[in-house]
Amino acid sequence: MKKTTVINSQLSTVIAGMGHMDWLSIGDAGMPVPLGTKKIDLALTKEIPSFMDVLKNVLAELKVQKIYLADEIKTQNPDQLKAIKDVLPDVEIEFMPHSDLKKDLAKCHAFVRTGEMTPFSNIILESGVTF
């Protein structure tokens, strides 16, 4: 049995297969996922698991060099924005309209659906290198 942090087999496989500058997205329960993008559905019920719980779990195994967030998080969910900045203090953030973020999910290796029920709790993680 796997000893490290991410024990979900689908999520672990995606992370292990990522290279430099590949994208992985984590989002709320309502985010529409484009056909063709792998969806790893972790949602059990409202707020379980939370967006932040899943993000922290992924960050334990994935080196991230840049993140992408919706502009709307600044005004519609500033607490979530602060929480993201707290766990990724030295990572570059690029903001874009939510409609563009949704389109960019088609470029992700996978989308991880959480039970999060707060608006604009969606992120694209760009993988870095560990050397």
- H runs (alpha helix) in 8-116: 9-16, 51-59, 73-76, 78-87, 98-104
71 is in an annotated binding site: no
28 is in an annotated binding site: yes
Distances (CA, A) of 55 to 13, 19, 36, 60, 65: 16, 18, 23, 9, 14
φ, ψ of residue 14 to 5 degrees: the values are -65, -45
Query: Which of 106, 115, 131, 111 has its CA nearest to residue 123?
Result: 111
Q: Tell me the C-alpha distance between 129 and 131, whole Å.
A: 6
Answer yes or no: 20 catalytic: yes
Q: Are 127 and 67 in contact (CB under 8 A)?
A: no
Catalytic residue among 16, 20, 85, 97: 20
Both tokens assigned to 85: 């900045």
**Annotated binding-site ranges:** 28, 98, 120-122
**Annotated binding-site ranges for substrate:** 28, 98, 120-122
Active site residues: 20
